[in-house]
């Protein structure tokens, strides 16, 4: 067929690379993405469309988190979706900002932001709804 | 900032057809989703930290403006997922990266996204009409 038009890379040539941070981060993006398609789509269709924000309130969250399965579901969403998103943000920013010094600054800032917001979310899911 | 300018001007001059369009849309839908996600983790966290603020956050989300933005968010999530899947599958079968094939699959990706998105959009508009405009007995 048209295989003579393909470069060696397109023909599936294997290149051995020593895994470094970027290599692991790339794999994280790919593997988490496969999980995120069912996780995020079910979450969005359920909460945004079928239930809808008008019917969501503290009682709804209390009821939902009374089931351990939904708490685990939300922990998975938090860990996979936000890590995927923040690493994606890092990739986009370092695509436009080239000086290595600034790329390091960006990476550290995003790491801090990711850890902080993830910790806040994790405490809330574990702590659950608090009634005053 | 010269490199940034070069990159952005490159986007307008490069004639990458659907491939370039799909690259930009993947990037924009990803950025849109992660921006909302960061806010969404914080607003949900109020159920533990400041429970009275949660209803306040929901009141903002229930507004018509956010209702319309929510329809956009669902598009972002559906396109980013479908297109991400196309990229992953194309890496498994590198022939899919051939120019014409890729062009066709970009169109298929957009079509799948729209097929998934339009019915959901209908339901979300219905929700808005019920709750924000008192239609359908709301």
- pLDDT, tens digit, for every residue of A13-52? 677 778 888 888 889 899 999 999 999 999 999 999 999 9
The share of chain B scoring above pLDDT 70, in percent, equals 99
Classify domain B17-133 by CATH number: 1.20.1300.10
Query: Cα B131 to chain center, whole Å?
Result: 24
* Record: contact B62-A123, CB cut-off 8 A: no
Q: Which candidate from A52, A88, A117 shows the least CB-CB separation from B127?
A: A52
The ipTM is: 0.91
| Per-residue buried b or exposed e for B100-111, using 16+ beta carbons within 10 Å of the residue's own CB | eebeebbeebbe
* Record: contact B37-A89, CB cut-off 8 A: no
CA distances from A122 to A43, A69, A70, A129, B42 (A): 17, 15, 14, 13, 11
* Record: contact A10-B97, CB cut-off 8 A: yes
Question: What's the predicted TM-score (pTM) here?
Answer: 0.90
What pLDDT is recorded for position A86?
97
Check residue A129 and report its DSSP letter.
P
Inter-residue contact B136 to B126 (CB < 8 Å): yes
- Identify the CATH assignment for A21-127 out of 3.30.420.40, 1.20.1300.10, 3.30.2020.10, 3.90.950.20: 1.20.1300.10
Question: pLDDT digits over B63-90, tens only?
Answer: 999 999 999 999 999 999 999 999 999 9
What pLDDT is recorded for position B17?
83
Element (H, E) at A10: none
């Amino acid at each position: 067929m048209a295989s003579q038009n393909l470069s060696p890379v397109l023909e599936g040539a294997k290149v051995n690379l020593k895994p470094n941070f970027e290599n692991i981060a790339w794999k994280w993006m790919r593997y988490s993405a496969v999980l995120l398609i069912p996780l995020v789509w079910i979450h969005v269709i359920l909460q945004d469309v079928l239930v809808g924000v008008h019917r969501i309130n503290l009682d709804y969250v209390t009821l939902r988190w009374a089931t351990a399965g939904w708490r685990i579901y939300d922990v998975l969403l938090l860990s996979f979706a936000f890590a995927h998103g923040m690493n994606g943000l890092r990739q986009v920013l370092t695509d436009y900002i080239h000086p290595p010094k600034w790329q390091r600054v960006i990476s550290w800032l995003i790491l801090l932001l990711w850890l902080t917001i993830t910790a806040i979310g994790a405490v809330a899911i574990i702590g659950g709804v608090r009634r005053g | 900032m010269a490199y940034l300018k070069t990159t952005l001007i490159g986007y307008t001059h490069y004639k990458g057809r659907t491939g370039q369009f799909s690259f930009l849309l993947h990037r924009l839908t990803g950025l849109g989703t992660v921006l909302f996600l960061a806010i969404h983790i914080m607003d949900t966290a109020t159920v533990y930290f400041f429970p009275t603020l949660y209803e306040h956050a929901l009141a903002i989300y229930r507004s018509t403006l956010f209702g319309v933005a929510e329809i956009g968010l669902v598009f972002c999530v559906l396109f980013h997922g479908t297109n991400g899947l196309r990229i992953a599958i194309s890496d498994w079968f590198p022939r899919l990266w051939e120019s014409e094939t890729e062009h066709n699959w970009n169109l298929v990706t957009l079509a799948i996204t729209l097929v998934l998105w339009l019915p959901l959009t209908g339901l979300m508009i219905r929700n808005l009409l019920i709750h924000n405009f008192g239609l359908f007995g709301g």
